[in-house]
Amino acid sequence: MSLRAVLSQADYDATPDAMRPNYVAGAMPGTFVLSIDGQHPDLVAANARVAEFRDNNIRLMREGETLGAKVKAVEKDLQDAVAAKALQDALAAKALVPAPAGAVDAPKPAPAGAVDAPKPAPLPDVEALIQRAVEAATRPLAERIAAKELAEADLSAKLAKAEFEKEVAALALASGVRPGAIEDVKDRAHKAGFRWESGKVVARDGDTLRYSAVKPAEELSLGEWLAELPKTADHLFKASGGSGALPNGRPVVVDGGVMVNPSPLEFGRNAEAIAKGKIKVETR
């Protein structure tokens, strides 16, 4: 009797007591997953990197919120101080300008040999003064914010790469790829246009989504690509124990959610459904 990879609460309750120790609580509430002894090193390392990236991202977000509040406070203080200083300078400069002559008291001509009085200095551009002061005061903080944004972008790229490699490794192992060939498969998947977007693996040709050759209305899945990989890179897969047919010669079929004696190719085509527990695998 084969064991299903994932059980609902109802399925778990209906499972014989002797078989229940084979399952542990899943990440999703109300689910139970088959307990497997050990994990592939790639999956362990990827999980560790994901946790590290998540913690770093939380720390950077908190630092960004603190820096944003400091920038606003500094800008307000500087605007108040610079505006007050500019107004003071403007009033002092204006005091040097002589009052215009009235109609009665016409200006008297300067005596011969008299030296012209110095012209008053022009009024300062208050807005320009404020702008320059604010830029000078906030430049260090702006540089730190820019560096933070670059770090966040780099962190997001690393997180996406880790999630992508984790997904490829899991499906590749489920599809019969040799553990020693996982890195090769990751590289091939990347060159084939697969990437991590919006929480899932998608395939693109440049900016255009790639679609399934089997189901043209659906996007090309990683499982379908892995199913076709043995045609060009059979050496990446474990040696098959047989032809993938039943003893009486009938082809492998999925009947009632059960796949019997699948070949690596057929296993790969259905890897996603097998991983989700929608299809069970039996050997007869």
Q: Which residue has the higher pLDDT, 42 or 47?
A: 47
Phi, psi of 204, rounded to the nearest 5 degrees: -135, 150
Identify the domain containing residue 29 by its residue range: 1-35
- Domain presence at residue 26: yes
The mean per-residue pLDDT over the stretch 271-277 comes to 80
Same domain, 200 and 268: yes
Within-domain flag for 112: no
pTM of structure: 0.41
What is the tally of structural domains in the chain? 3
Dihedral over alpha carbons 77, 81, 84, 90 (to 10 degrees) = -130
Higher pLDDT: 41 or 227? It is 227
List, edge to edge, every strand of the sheet that includes 208-209.
Answer: 194-197, 200-205, 208-209
The reply to whether 166 falls in a domain is: yes
β-strand partners of 204: 209
What mean pLDDT is reported for the chain? 78
The C-alpha atoms of residue 230 and residue 221 are separated, in whole angstroms, by: 16
- Four-CA torsion 132, 66, 73, 136, nearest 10 degrees: -10
The position carrying tokens 């497997």 is: 36
Mean per-residue pLDDT for 57-74?
83
Q: Is the pLDDT of residue 183 over 90?
A: yes
Spatial contact of 269 and 224, defined as CB atoms under 8 Å apart? yes
Cβ-based burial of 262 (10 A; exposed 0-12, middle 13-18, buried ≥19): buried
In a domain, 114, yes or no: no
